[in-house]
Amino acid sequence: MAQGGSIVPFAGWRRTRLLGESPLRQALRSVGDRVVRLAEDVVGQDLDARIAGIKTHLNEVGHDPFGFDPETSRYALAMAALLHRRYFRTQVFGINRVPQGRVLIVANHSGQLPLDAVMIGSAMMLDADPPRFPRSMVETWTAELPFISTLYPRLGQVVGSPENARRLLQQEESLIVFPEGARGISKTFDQRYQLTDFGLGFVRLAIETGTPIVPVAVIGGEEQYPSIADFKPLARLLNMPAFPVMPQLFFGMIAPLPTKYRLYFGEPFRFSGDPDDDDSAIEEKVWLVKSTIQSMVNRGLRERKGVFI
Amino acid sequence: MPNPQITRRHKPSARRGREPVRERPSARAPVARGVFGHVTESPKPLERVQQPQPITQEFPKAATEGAVLVTGVCGRLGKLLARELHRTDQVVGVDRRPFDDRPKDIVHHQVDMRRKKMKDIFRGRNIRAVVHLGVLHDPRRSDRERHSWNIVAFQKLLDYMSQYEVPKLVVLSGANVYGPQPNNPQFLTEDAPLLGAQHFGGMRDLVELDMLAQSFFWKHPDTETVVLRPCHIVGRVHNAASNYLRLERPVMVMGFDPMMQVVHEKDVVRAIQLALRPGVRGIYNIRGPGEMPLSHLIRQVGGRPRQVPTPLAKVALDQLWKLRLSTFPSEELDHLRYICMVDDSRARTELGYEPVHSIDRVLKDVRRLRHQLS
């Protein structure tokens, strides 16, 4: 008698095979494990211990309510560690200035792909002691993209909305915020390292929740994907915030250029006042943060000897 | 059918004396200025209980006077509620369907809610509360029938309630009225806009029903109106969420794995019982034992998700729908793509609600019915 009471031989075969882990998944897992081991050799740190060291607020069924999944994040951290240490050879300055507890990390945005967020995140995970797990606020439209919308929450990324930010800060988590948003990341090469307008929301949020703001200057992001123009009609057609024209893609170079990243963490700002104050009053505080980041960027640019060294 | 239990005639003055006396802010009904609670000055803020009550009482106290009218009592949830309530209260059930195996002390009226007979039920006995569960969700029914059942019947019910001064109304809405959207915050509070009908016309009635209950809240301050918005109710009930989880190979949209909340039907019944306590009014989100990704939920129930790309899933579902092979309209795919989760902190603090059924228990009940069906 065949399995499951069926008289057809091997009728249950497909089912038993599928109930276990699929071969594709097994292959992916073994590749992932190899990457993690490689990254651990390169970094010289136990990545699993780093992941285990972070504190999130699990719900009653043992899941992070925002969808963070340590299993997936382990591979992502390994990739980020390789990028951080080997590909971009990131130098981190002043990471000790990040206070414990809730914190908003505000940085300049650049480089067409949000690798600057990856670098800040991996710096917090690998260079801070104890490791800090920063969440970053991502664009809403990423939630509409298949696969990305699954991957981002698993890595702890959260759709950018004031409610989410407030909730996370009240849970004493750290958030990476790019107040320039899409305007900043899709800058063309001639506007590199010139900060565009900052939104006001992050300062209101910081005042409301009593959160310190740590300004961060990211150097090296602007040169990874130099863009000569923004092709707006196509961006509108594809429903994207911008469509950068990147010459390196014409030469078949899909990977970013291996620039050297430098991250400068500044002294935290602590603002007080009324979160619902007039825009003019909030703008002063935003201007203070923005000008601090701009001057940190300028100093960083003066100090560096070259884009790739 | 003459009802043997109708003995006392309606005496509004007597009833008013029994209720804990609340001074009416004004004899005239305050005007509803905004359904979402954007109101600057009002005698009673929406979605706020008069005095937050300390949670000492596990269950509502036994009512001595007046019956609880439950519409839609023959649904699974209605039967569960009736079985819980009839221990402490007189229960009057109203449904088009027959209530065969009902406990002896439950009075059941097999009437259409749109009929005049409804008024006789109110006239004939002292009703202390109405629990409105009689909402038609079936997407197969025509728009006209759904509208007439969900809105016209509910409006009539509200008319009778104001006419006979029933002091309590509990409406079971749902978190679906917020609608799954890519830009939803992870947890929706009660103040979030009701956008459920934006992409799915079938939800229009349910949103309107919720709004009607909200405007009733304002127009009739003497009636304590409670709107409950639970997340997906699962268990032995027959609704879209439970039916979906019972599938052997449920369809998931490829590349999407939203976080999901489910709540056990008995927890919802408990929440309704808590809402029936005197003094409770407002809107409350009801959440289950915790949220997890949809794929985990399906695997824990024992299903194997079938990953289908969005366009293919849409086309296939549309065709299956036309051929009457599927009970899921393709607009409901948004529930498998985007989050629609609620924050229940208000229910916890003000209503004293706490889900007691663990996720294992919830999924066990879903699974059990699948095996029975197969």
Which of B183, B186, B358 shows the shortest C-beta gap to A65? B186
Interface residue of B191, B252, B292, B304 to substitute, partner A, most A CBs within 10 Å: B292
What residues of chain B lie within 8 A of the CB of A141, using their CB? 182
pLDDT of residue B10: 45
Which of A59, A147, A161 shows the shortest C-beta gap to B185? A161
pLDDT of residue B256: 94
Mean pLDDT of B55-72: 65
Chain A nearest CA to B289, separation (Å): 6
pLDDT of residue A183: 86
Chain B interface includes A191 (CB < 8 A): no
Whether B290 sits inside 8 A of A161 (CB atoms) is no
pLDDT of residue B16: 44
Low-confidence ranges of chain A (pLDDT < 50): 1-4, 16, 18
Chain B nearest CA to A169, separation (Å): 14
pLDDT above 60 for B36: no
Share of chain B above pLDDT 90, in %: 59
Cα nearest neighbour of A21 on chain B: B304
Chain B interface includes A67 (CB < 8 A): yes
Interface residue of B181, B191, B254, B256 to substitute, partner A, most A CBs within 10 Å: B256
Beta bridge partners of A213: A104, A269
pLDDT in tens, B344-374: 999 999 999 999 999 999 998 888 877 666 5
What residues of chain B lie within 8 A of the CB of A72, using their CB? none
pLDDT above 80 for B63: no
What residues of chain A lie within 8 A of the CB of B182, using their CB? 140-141, 143-144, 149, 159
pLDDT above 70 for B212: yes
pLDDT above 50 for B5: no
To 10 degrees, the CA torsion angle through B146, B147, B148, B151? 120
Chain B interface includes A61 (CB < 8 A): yes
Which of B189, B255, B291 shows the shortest C-beta gap to A146? B255
pLDDT of residue B275: 95
Which of B187, B254, B292 shows the shortest C-beta gap to A63? B292
What residues of chain B lie within 8 A of the CB of A62, using their CB? 290
pLDDT above 70 for B1: no
Give the whole-angstrom CA distance, residue B245 versus residue B265. 14
Mean pLDDT of B305-327: 91
Interface residue of B178, B183, B187 to substitute, partner A, most A CBs within 10 Å: B183
pLDDT in tens, B113-140: 999 899 999 998 899 999 999 888 888 8
Rg of chain A, C-alpha, whole Å: 22
The mean pLDDT of chain B is 83
Cα nearest neighbour of B186 on chain A: A164
Whether B290 sits inside 8 A of A63 (CB atoms) is yes
pLDDT above 70 for B39: no
pLDDT above 80 for B32: no
pLDDT in tens, B274-311: 999 999 999 999 999 989 999 999 998 988 898 999 99
This model of the complex carries an ipTM of 0.83
pLDDT above 80 for B28: no
Whether B186 sits inside 8 A of A158 (CB atoms) is yes
Chain B interface includes A171 (CB < 8 A): no
Chain B nearest CA to A149, separation (Å): 6
Which of B185, B254, B289 shows the shortest C-beta gap to A146? B254
pLDDT of residue A93: 94
pLDDT of residue B44: 41
pLDDT above 80 for B42: no
Chain B nearest CA to A237, separation (Å): 19
- Between the two ends of chain A, the Cα-to-Cα distance in Å is 70
What residues of chain B lie within 8 A of the CB of A158, using their CB? 186
**pTM, to two decimals:** 0.82
Reported as a pLDDT band with limits 50, 70 and 90, residue B9 is very low
Cα nearest neighbour of A143 on chain B: B182
Reported as a pLDDT band with limits 50, 70 and 90, residue B80 is very high
Go through the domains of chain A in sequence order and give each one's CATH number.
82-303 (3.40.1130)
pLDDT of residue B184: 92
Chain B interface includes A273 (CB < 8 A): no
Go through the domains of chain B in sequence order and give each one's CATH number.
51-56+66-234+263-288+341-357 (3.40.50.720)
Whether B253 sits inside 8 A of A146 (CB atoms) is yes
B89-98 long-range Cβ contacts below 8 angstroms, 24+ apart: B89/B62, B89/B63, B90/B63, B90/B66, B91/B67, B92/B67, B92/B68, B92/B121, B92/B125, B92/B127, B93/B69, B94/B69, B94/B70, B94/B118, B94/B121, B94/B134, B95/B71, B95/B134, B98/B74
Cα nearest neighbour of A141 on chain B: B182
